[in-house]
């Protein structure tokens, strides 16, 4: 998942047509889609709109929906916040789509309404984030976030072979993907006695708050050598905090996700490595599993997509295919 600083609180459903993420892939002419010639409707509810991670996922949803000959409609909040996602979810469920692809913004707060959607006969597929009890969904598709966190530590270790203190900057506890990344990083650090883990700081997905936290952490522990930033906002704020502290040459930052802004930071040397996911593939797989469930075919309950470590050395070669999209 890739999160950014919010723009405004929330949009009404009527306003979504003006957003880049609000789109519909219509079946090709004469090609309604599935068993019994039913034109299935798939709804996609991302964690937030306007974010390159979810835009890339939307591109995958629309591409596979077109291949299946079904419609796919996307609606979502402008902030990664369960209180904003919940009313949109309720409205989407009321429209009675055949399947719902959703990135829950909280593993607990969205459990009941998503279960209600499943109980209403809607085939639910969890994409990117998950729930405390994911059994309400026919399939859950996400990156290997725990493995990604461990890989982030491996990247910091490569940049700091002598070891030292390391810090994690995340968003908020309770976001499944971020929790898994933190756990993966923490587990890897504990296995290497050359490194000292100073803990995780939560920035509430606010780059300014992340910068403050990093500045305070560096003042307390000026010998920190590496920071793992769990998402886009965390990486942006961490870079600002390190720069303001005048410690750019000492502190190495490894970020998660690979949107255009993150690639720019990488090329500028603000961030030394990025853990890139495959959001478009998550979208493709989400539609495939939804259609399998609708047609009574075999469904894969859990799918983990791969990630790629992008550095200055491979950003323009084999890492280029992993850069997220700003539009489809």
pLDDT for position 261: 83
Mean pLDDT check: name the lowest of 35-49, 151-165, 287-301: 35-49
pLDDT surpassing 80 at residue 44: yes
Q: Give the Cα separation of 189 and 177 in Å (integer).
A: 19
Confidence of residue 83 (pLDDT cuts 50, 70, 90): very high
Q: Give the Cα separation of 56 and 64 in Å (integer).
A: 13
Confidence of residue 125 (pLDDT cuts 50, 70, 90): very high
CA separation, residue 275 to residues 154, 213, 232, 321, 323 (Å)? 11, 22, 11, 13, 10
DSSP 117-166: HHHTT-EEEEESS--SSGGGSSEEEEE-HHHHHHHHHHHHHHH-TT-EEE
pLDDT for position 104: 95
Confidence of residue 262 (pLDDT cuts 50, 70, 90): confident
Beta strands 308-310 and 273-276: pairing type? antiparallel
pLDDT for position 1: 52
pLDDT for position 5: 38
Nearest to 140 by CA among 162, 160, 118, 155: 118
Question: What are the start-end ranges of the E strands in the chain?
Answer: 24-25, 41-45, 71-74, 99-102, 123-127, 139-143, 164-170, 195-202, 224-229, 252-256, 273-276, 302-305, 308-310
Nearest to 53 by CA among 289, 230, 241: 230
Mean local confidence (pLDDT), 232-258: 91
Mean local confidence (pLDDT), 249-269: 90
DSSP 265-294: HHHHTSSSEEEE--HHHHHHHHHHHHHHHH
Tokens of 323: 């850069």
Nearest to 28 by CA among 17, 44, 39: 39
Mean local confidence (pLDDT), 76-82: 92
Confidence of residue 10 (pLDDT cuts 50, 70, 90): very low
Neighbours of 8 (CB within 10 A): 8
Nearest to 274 by CA among 247, 254, 297, 296: 254
Of residues 270 and 201, more confidence is placed in 201
pLDDT surpassing 70 at residue 283: yes
pLDDT surpassing 80 at residue 28: no
pLDDT for position 269: 87
pLDDT for position 22: 40
Tokens of 254: 């490894």
pLDDT surpassing 50 at residue 43: yes
Confidence of residue 37 (pLDDT cuts 50, 70, 90): low
pLDDT surpassing 90 at residue 6: no
| Cβ contact 3:262 at 8 Å | no
| Residues 144-182: tens digit of each pLDDT | 999 999 999 999 999 999 999 999 999 888 888 899 999
> Mean pLDDT across the chain, nearest whole number?
88
| Residues 194-214: tens digit of each pLDDT | 999 999 999 988 899 999 999
Any residues with CB less than 8 A from the CB of 31 and at least 6 apart, and which? 69
């Amino acid at each position: 998942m890739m999160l950014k600083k919010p723009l405004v609180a929330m949009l009404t459903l009527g306003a979504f047509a003006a957003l880049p993420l609000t789109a519909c892939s219509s079946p090709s002419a004469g090609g309604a889609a599935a068993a019994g010639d039913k034109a299935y409707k798939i709804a996609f509810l991302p964690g937030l709109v306007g974010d390159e991670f979810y835009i890339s996922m939307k591109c995958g949803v629309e591409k596979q929906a077109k291949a299946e000959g079904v419609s796919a409609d996307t609606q979502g909040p402008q902030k990664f916040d369960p209180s904003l996602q919940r009313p949109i979810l309720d409205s989407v469920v009321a429209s009675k789509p055949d399947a719902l692809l959703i990135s829950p913004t909280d593993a607990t707060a969205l459990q009941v309404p998503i279960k209600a959607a499943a109980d209403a006969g809607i085939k639910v597929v969890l994409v990117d984030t998950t729930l405390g009890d994911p059994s309400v969904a026919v399939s859950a598709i996400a990156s290997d976030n725990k493995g990604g966190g461990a890989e982030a530590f491996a990247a910091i270790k490569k940049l700091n072979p002598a070891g030292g203190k390391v810090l994690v900057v995340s968003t908020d506890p309770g976001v499944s993907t971020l929790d898994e990344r933190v756990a993966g990083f923490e587990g890897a650090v504990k296995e290497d006695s050359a490194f000292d883990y100073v803990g995780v700081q939560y920035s509430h997905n606010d780059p300014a708050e992340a910068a403050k936290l990093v500045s305070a952490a560096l003042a307390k522990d000026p010998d920190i050598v590496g920071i793992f930033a769990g998402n886009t906002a965390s990486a942006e704020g961490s870079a600002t905090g390190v720069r303001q502290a005048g410690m750019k040459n000492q502190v190495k930052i490894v970020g998660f996700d690979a949107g255009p802004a993150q690639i720019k930071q990488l090329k500028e040397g603000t961030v030394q490595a990025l853990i890139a996911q495959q959001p478009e593939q998550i979208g493709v797989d989400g539609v495939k599993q939804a259609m399998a469930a609708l047609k009574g075919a075999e469904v894969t309950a859990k799918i983990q997509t791969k990630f790629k470590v992008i550095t200055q050395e491979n950003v323009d070669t084999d890492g280029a295919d992993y850069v997220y999209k700003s539009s489809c």
